[in-house]
Chains A and B, each alone.
Chain A
Amino acid sequence: MWKNRGIAFKLILAICVSVGLIFILIFSFNYRFSRNIIEKNVEENAQNLVQSQVNRIETVLLSVKKIPENLASFLANGSYDEEELLFLLRTVVENNPEIYGAAIAFEPYAFDRGLLYYAPYFCKHNGKIEFTNLGTTSYLYAYLDWYQIPKELNRPDWSEPYYDEGGGNILMATYSVPFYKNVGEKRQFMGIVTADINLGWFQEVVSSIKVLQTGYGFLISRNGTVITHPLKQLIMNETLFGVAEGREDTHLREIGRKMIRGESGFVPFRSIDSEKECWMYYTPIPSNGWSLAVLFPRDEFMADILRLNRIVVILGIAGLLLLSIAVAFIARSITNPLRAMARATKEIATGNLDVELPPAKSGDEVGKLSEAFQYMEKSLKEYIQQLTETTASKERIESELKIAHDIQMSILPKIFPPFPERKEFDIFAMIEPAREVGGDFYDFFFIDDEHFCFTIGDVSGKGVPASLFMAVTKTLLKAKTLWDADPASILTKVNKDLSQGNEACMFVTSFIAVLNTKTGELLYANGGHNPPLMIRSENNSPFRQGGDEGFLGEVEFLAVSKGLVVGAMEDYVYQTDRIRLKPGDSIFIYTDGVTEAMNERGELFSEERLKKQTIKLQGKSVQEIIAGTMEEIKSFSHGVPQSDDITMMVIAYKGIRK
């Protein structure tokens, strides 16, 4: 799939993917980093904001605490009557705007031995100072938290927030200070002095905390009871733990536990009412252990960075698109000429060398390639032109050679039987040149009515020079027989003529024989030629008697005197041998193209094989002997090209029939 895609596609994909990855990497790093910065800033701001509010509350609480503490120390040390006590308590409530009310609650019978409960209480009800005696049967203060807890703990304590039914009748929190009287050595618990604060003020302070659009603060007590919250139904009705249970939020429960333990922290937090993701900072109010928490809506703080991120993403995508276009442009500048070149090359391949190649516009690699292609086209054109010319001249030479071949062949006698009226012998010959023109030749003619001359030759070398030399030799041979019928003398003369002015140092092997058709006497001379084969007829084989073990049938190489190749040495004299042919005998003459025919293993056809073949063909007609031998040579060489001319001639002597 990928392999077959274009360069432009691969480039765009590879570059865009890597650049995109880099972008994502940078982007996410940037996002995390800036988010951390914002988170850190929010945390710092949160800490300052919450701490300032806590300080504001704490200041009030501290001043509230002093009031009952002072009263308690007065009660512990001073002596007083009821009137003084009530005046003092009233003055305290009047003069201290921070407190809503104050009470002095005595232990049973501690104020008056005749009175079970005595607890004067002043509070600011609707701006007016009101007096209540809490010591009634419907308000058993001895069992209320604000009394019981500091009593049992023997120390001052802030109460949980509560609706004081029958007392102040508002949502309040009470600071209770136990007071004692020294009876002898022992310290005796006398009662509790209290100062109430109206939690309405707390609620105002906390609900005035606004962070951006939706951030808010809330306050919880030591039990986790929600004292202030934008969600009204939570106030004094739920603890943070109840909310956690309702939402099955163990994380919230854990946070709540940390808050009531007096810890501070900055934590991720899901807003209880809106379920929004927020950060929350919480810190305790030192005096009473309540905890103030402020929620910082994450999305609002992150709004800027989110907007920035959106812009960055859009820019990134735009950049990536631009990059893709640029890459596509570059890729096109590469692939377009390449494609054009591919088209042109295909065209060139079909043989059209005149195709316009795209011009090399630039000096880059593509330009170089274009140049190279143009050069190649030019060279190819020139080469083909040369080739055309060469081929033309070669064709001319070949046609000339063809003509030369025809001429050469025409000088050889080719009509068989050549002398149909002569019944004394049969003759057949064939020549198979290795090239268009060859150096082999044969000839036969009657010198006179009785003497029949036949000859065969093989010029050294091949081709045109050999063929010319062969023509000369053949002409000379025939010319010399006009005056002489002795083969040796003919050869000697021809040798002399050829040797003179033999600049090319060429020579020819030749066998020449003259047959007396009447007597069967055969005179012959050999100029370095392969000895012919003598095929005896069965009837007159001399080899029958004698019992020679090497007897191979009625075929034997003709015994020839040694003779030098013709044309090598000017004064060389050849010898004539003679033999008498009996009717039925045949002479097989050939050139070395026969014995030296090669097969694919480099083996030669050899004289041995020729002899065997000839035995096989014994008794056949002259044409059949030659055709059979040729067939055998062909099947032996088995397609290996013929390297030398093949010439064969058979003369079968029949004698004169009566």
Chain B
Amino acid sequence: MIRILLVLFFLLSVGVFPLDAAETPLKKASFIPQWSPQSQFAGYYVAYEKGFYKKRGIDLTILQGGSDRPSSQFLTTGKTDFATMWLSTALRLAANGQEIINIAQVTQRSALMLVSKTSSNIKTPQDINGKKVSLWGEDFQIQPKAFFKKYNLDVKIIPQSFSINLFLRGGVDVASAMWYNEYHTIINSGLNPEDLTTFLFYEHGLNFPEDGIYTLKKTFKKDPALAYAFVKSSIEGWLYAFSHPEEALNIVLKYISQAKIPANRVHQKWMLNRMKDLISPPGGGSIGMLQPRDYERVDYELKESGLVKRTPSYYSFFVRCDKDVEK
């Protein structure tokens, strides 16, 4: 009698606690986003707070990113297991011999854009010719420069800092902006959308998918399951954030204030909504997938601009980790 009960109890326990989660010890891992906490990384914070990583056996540490803590550097120097980066950044690193791979292309669409005031009489790309354009550094210049080349524009490039005041005061005619960030800042500095002319690069054949998840090849080889688990949990975090925006915002705002950065809910809400547009654009790619044609486009433009010479092949650069069962 007691034996039967014991068997029953054992069977029930197996049913309630899946073996893979409950019985293996948590693996330690770390992750750094490429910027300070904001809705741009909502998915990871949400996944962490909702226990999605833990559920898949990861004891994750999210490191704080920022301008003085470049995620690429953290990844290549082994300070983190996983990092987000722009595809262009990662490709340049890979071209320079860094053994990194893309394990999930999160955003499918480029958010980088040029903005001008309609009062400057700029309506078409051609109108930018001869104007003062402020650009951020390095990777932020690849698309604009390809854009100028594409439309055969001669512009005066002014370095752009983190503020958009130079543009607002009229110091430049055209400024760079991220759709989910600076564009909204401009709108909330009193300019209406109809006061602005925008050039989103993805609309001009220059779609550079931006945020992707990267890891070192050796990290991946050592424990592919970890990479799979990390990507799956992160994507689950994103999907949860999109279906529970207010909860996601609360989580993001918590991280922002922990980082002692002024938190602006309205702005973060805008950013989260735009991230949704970028991650799952209507008629666009699917979350986690790096489309070969996107890869080829970035590769081509980087080579065209002379920033890289030799790049890894698509198949050695990208390992899709969101769909397949880990082998």
Contact B165 A223, beta carbon cutoff 8 Å:
yes
How far is B160's CA from A149's CA once the two chains are assembled, in angstroms? 11
Q: Please report which residues of chain B, range 151-175, place their CB below 8 angstroms from some CB of chain A when the two chains form the complex.
A: 158-161, 163, 165-166, 168-172
Contact digits for B29-51, partner A, Cβ 8 Å, 1 yes 0 no: 00000000000000000000000
| Contact of A654 with B by CB under 8 A | no
Q: Is the CB of B262 within 8 A of A236?
A: yes
Known: A239-B188, A239-B190, A257-B190. A223 touches B168 (CB 8 A): yes
User: Within 8 Å of chain B (Cβ to Cβ): is A241?
Assistant: yes
Min CB distance B162 to A, Å, is 9
In the docked arrangement, what's the CA distance between A242 and B268, Å?
A: 11
The reply to whether the CB of A623 lies closer than 8 angstroms to some CB of chain B is no
Given the complex, which residues of A lie within 8 Å of B170, measured CB to CB?
153
Tell whether, in the assembled complex, residue A145 and residue B161 are in contact, meaning their CB atoms are under 8 Å apart: yes
CB distance from B275 to the nearest CB of A (A): 17
Residue numbers in A under 8 Å from B262 (CB-CB): 236-237
Q: Which residues of chain A are near B264, meaning CB under 8 Å? A: 237-238, 242
Q: Is A219 an interface residue (CB 8 A)?
A: no
Q: Known contacts being A143-B161, A246-B265, A246-B266, is A149 close to B166, with CB within 8 Å?
A: yes
Contacts of A439 in B (CB 8 A): none
Given A237-B264, A246-B266; A152-B166 close (CB under 8 Å): yes
| B272 smallest CB distance to A (angstroms) | 14
In the complex, which residues 209-244 of chain A have their Cβ closer than 8 Å to any Cβ of chain B? 222-225, 236-243
* A256: interface (CB < 8 Å): yes
Cα(A358)–Cα(B125), bound, Å: 104
In the complex formed, the residue of B with least CB distance to A258 is B190
B22 at the interface (CB under 8 A from A): no
Report how far A143 CA is from B161 CA in the complex, Å.
6
List the A side residues contacting B166 at CB < 8 Å: 145, 148-149, 152
Cα-based distance from A160 to B161 in the complex (angstroms):
14
As a 0/1 sequence over residues 239 to 265 of chain A, the CB contacts with chain B under 8 angstroms (1 = contact) are: 111110110000001001100100000
- Looking across the interface, which residue of chain A has its beta carbon closest to that of B187? A241
Interface size on B, residues (CB 8 A): 25
Question: Once the chains bind, are A223 and B161 in contact (CB under 8 Å)?
Answer: no
Tell whether A237 pairs with B188 under 8 Å between CB atoms, given A145-B161, A148-B171.
Answer: no
Q: A237-B262, A242-B267, A246-B265 are in contact. Are A152 and B188 (CB under 8 A)?
A: no
B158 near A152 with CB under 8 A, answer yes
Residue of B132, B161, B170 with most chain A CB atoms under a 10 A cut-off: B161
Residues of B within 8 Å of A239, CB to CB, are 188-190
Query: Is A149 a contact of B188 with CB atoms below 8 Å?
Result: no
Report the bound CA distance from A48 to B159 in whole Å.
Answer: 44
B174 to chain A, nearest CB (A): 13
A504 at the interface (CB under 8 A from B): no
Q: Nearest residue in A to B169 (C-beta to C-beta)? A: A149
Which chain B residues lie closer than 8 Å to A223 at the CB level?
165, 168, 189-190
Whether A144 sits at the interface, judged by CB under 8 Å, is yes
The residue in chain B whose Cβ has the minimal distance to the Cβ of A138 is B68
The yes or no answer to B263 lying at the interface (CB within 8 A) is yes
Give A238 to B264 CA distance when docked, in angstroms: 7
- Chain B residue nearest in CB terms to A225: B189
Also in contact, A144 and B161, with CB within 8 A (given A237-B263, A237-B264): yes
Residues of B contacting A148 with CB < 8 Å? 158-159, 161, 166, 171
Contact of A160 with B165 at beta-carbon distance under 8 Å, contacts A143-B159, A152-B158, A153-B171 already known? yes
Given A148-B159, A149-B169, 20 other A-B contacts at CB below 8 A?
Answer: A144-B161, A148-B158, A148-B161, A148-B171, A151-B171, A152-B132, A153-B169, A153-B170, A223-B190, A225-B189, A236-B262, A237-B263, A239-B189, A239-B190, A241-B188, A241-B189, A245-B188, A246-B266, A256-B190, A260-B190
Could you write out 5 A-B pairs with CB less than 8 Å apart? Answer: A148-B159, A148-B166, A153-B171, A223-B168, A239-B189
- Sorted from nearest, which 10 A-B pairs have the closest CB atoms? A152-B171, A223-B189, A241-B188, A237-B262, A143-B161, A246-B266, A242-B188, A242-B266, A145-B165, A260-B190
